[in-house]
Amino acid sequence: MTSTGGGSEKVSVQVVIRVKPLTEHDLENLPTRFQRQIVTTSPYATNQIVVEGEKRQVFNFDNVFPPETTQQEIYEKSVENLVNKFIEGFNVTILAYGQTSSGKTHTMGTADNPLIPSDSKGIIPRAMSTLFSTINSIHHSKNDNRKFSIKVSFVEIHNEDLIDLLGEGVEEERPPVLIREDSKGNIYWSGLQEVKVTGVEEVISYLAKGSQHRQVGATDMNEKSSRSHAIFSVTMLQQKFIPNNNNGSPLSPTTPTFSRPGTPSSRSISSRAPSRANSVMSSRFDDGEWVTITSKFHFVDLAGSERLKRTAASGDRAKEGIAINSGLLALGNVISALGDPNKAKYTTHIPYRDSKLTRLLQDSLGGNAKTLLIACVSPAEYNANETINTLKYANRARNIKNNAVVNQEEMGWNDVGHLQSLVIKLRQENSSLKIANATLGLQQQQQQSSSGIVTPGRYSYFRYTWT
């Protein structure tokens, strides 16, 4: 038993579509005859999108955001609620999917920097802003004694290599980032820089630092296009004091003692049983107990989903393209295996291991997480085929069911030393109780014999306490 009282929710992967407005750059670069907008949305059916391509196709999603949607609206309608779930202790993952230049990085805010106007900020800085303001108000609250510790990491998957975007020093001299699996089947990363953060500005500075390291290269479609997946992860550790029912005040709990150093960084991004890997040692106190809640938030800016021939890629660029397509292909296969009700009946094997991307996202797809897929599309006729491909891909993801649980556990549950001292303490309490009961029984017996009454029930109770 690792979970002590955390909630559990069966949820489908949420899928929303964002239609990008045609930018000046698009108008200059797309052939004029293909600039016609073929994607329509309706204010009366905000979950529907219609593509007037060679044939008319209609798709339904959890939400469809038309081109005029602001960054703030996307955040409020689709993300804010997930940030609150994250604070409750659920794992959350948001993926941005779509062809190059469809607005993934803009939507996610993966490349935001401190100078960006606040209207333009993407999901990551907004989510961090909600997170830190909630934590600040909790700190000022008299009725909430939670303590928080937040760390961020930023990796890129490029040609199936994991690159640490926050790594210090010369890249070649750094230990490689590896995905490992422990004996219990938990997945975790090693060799990864995780930095403690205490405010939004710090997070944005790390975003900017990491984005500068990202592998980018020019193609016909967008000179800033990226052929790699970028994953910005936030790990939050909360300590919460749960008072005993009748004594102990939530306002003045005994401070926990940590007899073991904090979680090693290589352990803090784990899979199936994250709470187990992140347990922190503490003691149980007379007035209650401390529990830890560990939650992870992955913001995934996926590589462009377009087919290679559209980018006229060649040489090394083509190799990159093939590798990326293999990552997205594996993601597609996982989505298909999890999402197709016919396949799901017969398939127990989900091919998470086919790529690093799917391995890392294992607990976000069909596992322990709340997941939002934001599929970004262009409205232009020029991109009609890619838009249809994106909508079909996104549609399949809607069938995936996740089972999200709060990763809460009693502190020290996996610590043998802690459990041994707990057993000793409980034994002592048990024998004190026996002695107290025996004394009480003797007193009662003396009272009864002095009054001349002996009841069998009481006598048997007395005997029981000594067996």
DSSP characters over 344-372: HHH-----GGGSHHHHHTGGGSSSSSEEE
- Count, residues near ligand ADP per rule CB under 6 A: 15
DSSP state of 270: B
The C-alpha atoms of residue 46 and residue 321 are separated, in whole angstroms, by: 34
Query: 8, 23, 72, 455: which one contacts ligand ADP (CB under 6 A)?
Result: 23
The C-alpha atoms of residue 91 and residue 405 are separated, in whole angstroms, by: 8
Is 451 annotated for ligand binding? no
CA-closest candidate to residue 235, choices 209, 259, 270, 205: 270
Residue 129 interacting with Mg ion (CB under 5 A): no
Which helix H or strand E contains 16, and what residues bound it? strand 14-19
Task: Find the shortest distance in angstroms from Cβ 266 to ligand ADP.
Answer: 30
Residue 78 interacting with ligand ADP (CB under 6 A): no
Q: Which two tokens stand for residue 357?
A: 């991307």
User: Which residue's Cβ lies closest to Mg ion?
Assistant: 105
Task: Find the shortest distance in angstroms from Cβ 103 to Mg ion.
Answer: 8
Tell me the sheet residues that pair with 401: 12
Q: Near ligand ADP by CB under 6 A, which window of 55-63, 100-108, 127-135, 208-216?
A: 100-108
Query: 49, 61, 98, 194: which one contacts ligand ADP (CB under 6 A)?
Result: 98
CB environment 13-32: b (16+ within 10 A), e (fewer): bbbbbbbbeeeeebeeebee
Of residues 27 through 66, those in contact with ligand ADP by CB under 6 A are none
The C-alpha atoms of residue 369 and residue 224 are separated, in whole angstroms, by: 31
Residue 152 burial class via C-beta count within 10 angstroms: exposed 0-12, middle 13-18, buried 19 and up: buried
* x-marked contacts with Mg ion along 45-84 as a string, rule CB under 5 A: ----------------------------------------
Residue 266 interacting with Mg ion (CB under 5 A): no
Residue 282 interacting with Mg ion (CB under 5 A): no
Q: Which is nearer to ligand ADP, 23 or 118 (CB)?
A: 23
Q: Near ligand ADP by CB under 6 A, which window of 28-36, 103-111, 255-263, 392-400?
A: 103-111
Q: How many CA within 13 A on the CB side of residue 115?
A: 0
Query: 3, 63, 71, 105: which one contacts Mg ion (CB under 5 A)?
Result: 105
Is 239 annotated for ligand binding? no
- Identify whether the C-beta of residue 338 lies closer than 8 Å to the C-beta of residue 399: yes
DSSP characters over 421-465: HHHHHHHHHHHHHHHHHHHHHHHHHHHHHHHT---HHHHHHHHHT
Helix (H, G, I), strand (E, B), or coil: what is residue 226?
Answer: strand
Task: Find the shortest distance in angstroms from Cβ 49 to Mg ion.
Answer: 21
Q: Near ligand ADP by CB under 6 A, which window of 20-28, 79-87, 176-184, 263-271?
A: 20-28
Is 105 annotated for ligand binding? yes
Task: Find the shortest distance in angstroms from Cβ 229 to Mg ion.
Answer: 10
Q: Which is nearer to ligand ADP, 164 or 306 (CB)?
A: 306
Query: 85, 104, 126, 310: which one contacts ligand ADP (CB under 6 A)?
Result: 104
Residue ranges of the binding site: 98-105
Chain residues in the site for Mg ion (CB under 5 A): 104-105, 226
Site residues, ligand ADP (CB under 6 A): 20-21, 23, 98, 100-106, 222, 225, 304, 376
